[in-house]
Structure 1
Amino acid sequence: MKLALGSDHGGFRMKEMIKAYLRTENIEFEDFGTADENAVDYPDFAEKVAEAVAGGLYDRGILICGTGIGIGIAANKVPGIRAALCHDVFSARASREHNNANILTMGERVIGPGLALEIVKTWLAAEFSGGRHACRVEKIAELERKYYK
C-alpha cells in the first residue's frame, strides 16, 4: 500500500506521529506537507493529496487539520475522492467496508494520539466489502458525473 499524507498547521503534530507509525510498519508514504506549525490554508494540502489519490499515484490518503472537517470538505471536491471524517474506530472501519473511502480525515484538536493511531490502524486494515455497498458507491460516482461536467 502506498499512502499520501497531508495536513495544515492544526494537524501537523498528528501527521508527524502517523508518519512515525507508518515507518515502523514499513508502509510506503509521501508527505505532501505542511512542513511545520506555521499557519497555512488546508485546501492547498487537501488538493495535493486528493489529486494524487484520484490520479492513482497513491492507493489511499490521510489528511489532518484541527477538526478534520475543512480538509475533508476540500478533498471531496476532487472527483473520485471519498474522504471520510473519522473520530472513532467503528466509523473508520465502516468508511472502508461500506463506503470504500480512499481518504481518511481526522482532527488533531478533537482526538488524542492513541485513538488517532487506532483509527489509522483500523482504516488501513479494513477492505471494501463490495456487494450491496458497491451499488451505493457507484451512485456516489453518478452524482459526481452529473454535477462535475
Structure 2
Amino acid sequence: MKIVIGSDHAAYKMKEHIKEYLKNKGIEVIDEGPYSEDRVDYPIYAKKVCEKVVNKEADYGILMCGTGLGMSIAANKVKGIRATLAYYPKMAELARQHNNANVLVLGGRTMGFELAEWTVDTFLETSFEGGRHEKRINLISEMEENL
C-alpha cells in the first residue's frame, strides 16, 4: 500500500507522527510537505496530495490542518476526490464503507496522536461496500462532470 500525505503548518507535527507511524507498519509514504512548521497555505498541499491519488500514484491520501475543515474543502475541489474529515474511527469507517472516500482528513489541533492513529488504521482497513452506495458515488461523479 502507498499513502500520500500532506499538511499545513498547524498539523505539521501530526503529519510527521503519522508518517512515521505508517512507515513503522511497513506502508510506503509519499510526503508532499510541508517540511517545517513555517506558515504555509493549505490548498497547495491539498492539491499536491489529491493529484497523486487521482493519478493513481498512491492508493489513498491523508491530509491534516488545524481543524481539518480547510483541507476537506480544498481536497473536495479536485475532480475524483472524495475526502472525508474524520475525528474518530467510526467516521472513517462509514466514509470508506458508504462513500468510498479516497482521502482522509484529520485535525491536528482537534485530536491527539493516538486517536489519529486509530482513525487512520480504520480508514485503511475498511472496504467500500458498493451496492446501494455505488449509485450515490456515480451521482457525485455526474455532478463533477456537469459543473
TM-score by length of structure 2 reads: 0.98
Partner of 2:129: 129
- The alignment covers a number of residue pairs equal to 147
Superposed CA RMSD: 0.6
Partner of 2:45: 45
Task: Say which SS state the counterpart of residue 114 (structure 2) adopts.
Answer: helix
Q: Does 1:102 align with 2:119?
A: no
Per-residue Cα deviation, 1:46-101 (whole angstroms, up to 9, x for no partner)? 00001110111111100000000101111111100000000011100001010000
In structure 1, what is the Cα distance between the partners aligned to 2:91 and 2:12?
A: 22
Q: Which amino acid aligns with 1:29?
A: V
In structure 2, what is the Cα distance between the partners aligned to 1:5 and 1:113?
A: 15
In structure 2, what is the Cα distance between the partners aligned to 1:118 and 1:129?
A: 21
Q: State the 4+ residue runs in structure 1 displaced beyond 4 angstroms.
A: none
Partner of 1:118: 118
Partner of 2:90: 90
Q: In the TM superposition, what are the counterparts of 1:133-148 in structure 2 within 5 Å? A: 133-147=133-147
Partner of 1:5: 5
In structure 2, what is the Cα distance between the partners aligned to 1:56 and 1:145?
A: 20
Runs of 5+ consecutive residues of structure 2 not aligned to the other structure: none
Task: Say which SS state the counterpart of residue 118 (structure 1) adopts.
Answer: helix
In structure 2, what is the Cα distance between the partners aligned to 1:77 and 1:59?
A: 19
TM-score by length of structure 1 reads: 0.97
Question: 1:141 Cα shift?
Answer: 0.4
Question: 1:9 Cα shift?
Answer: 0.3
Q: In the TM superposition, what are the counterparts of 1:25-44 in structure 2 within 5 Å? A: 25-44=25-44
Q: Does 1:16 align with 2:16?
A: yes
In structure 1, what is the Cα distance between the partners aligned to 2:22 and 2:56?
A: 20
In structure 1, what is the Cα distance between the partners aligned to 2:135 and 2:29?
A: 30
Percent identity over paired residues: 49
